[in-house]
Chains A and B, each alone.
Chain A
């Protein structure tokens, strides 16, 4: 059982380049999230999805786009990378009950450097 898998694990981009980060989960979870982790800032929510075909903005959505065409996949895109997007990106999924008190499972992270 793979859980949550992120691809790639590492990437270096030049300013202005584009890329897509893939998150795949095999737990049939409805909710999926993309976070970025920066020193002193904790985990900040970029975008999230409450089900197949739906996405919504989180706390820091600018410069990113997402798609959830299939329930098991949640893609994070950077159309024109900027150095400020250098970060570690984490994907998570969960299947919350009506009170939202179930566990979120995380991927191993993607370390992105924009030069």
Chain B
């Protein structure tokens, strides 16, 4: 079955420390993977997508097809990074293009 798994519901690190939010997926094909972020009292918004290979707000994510992972990383966390992060997969699922999300990880950056 196609799914996205984020093993950590909560993650807390100190300001300036490295951050890694884990995401694993299962999909029979070549998926498109994304990270979405939801800051407090704001709507979900796209953080980055794997095809862009870009760094947004210091975050990067590399697609590892061998490990079926798409972990989100940032070398030095900042307090404004505190938010809910969702890993998402877009692909053909049961014959139709769908966008499915993981369970989310709430990241808290402590001062």
Give A residues with C-beta under 8 Å from B: 31, 33, 35, 40-45, 48, 50, 56, 58-59, 90, 92, 94, 96, 99-101, 103-104, 106-109
Contacts and interface: CB of A to CB of B under 8 A. Distances in A.
For the complex of A and B, 4 pairs with smallest distance between CB atoms = A42-B103, A100-B90, A43-B101, A101-B32
A105 to B, nearest CB: 8
Contacts of B104: 42-43
Contacts of A45: 98-101
Contact of B46 (A56, A96, A103): A103
Interface residues of B, number: 25
B96 A56 contact: yes
Given A56-B96, A103-B46, A40 B51 contact: no
Interface in B1-51: 6, 9, 32, 34, 36, 43-46, 49, 51
Nearest to A98: B97
Contact of B9 (A40, A48, A104, A109): A40
Nearest to B90: A100
Interface string B82-111: 000010101110001111111110000000
Contacts of A56: 96
A104 B101 CA distance: 12
Interface of B: 6, 9, 32, 34, 36, 43-46, 49, 51, 86, 88, 90-92, 96-104
Nearest to B101: A43
A101 B51 contact: yes
A50 B96 contact: yes
A114 B86 CA distance: 26
A59 B100 contact: yes
Given A42-B86, A100-B91, A94 B99 contact: yes
A101 B90 contact: yes
A90 B96 contact: no
B79 to A, nearest CB: 23
A41 B104 CA distance: 8
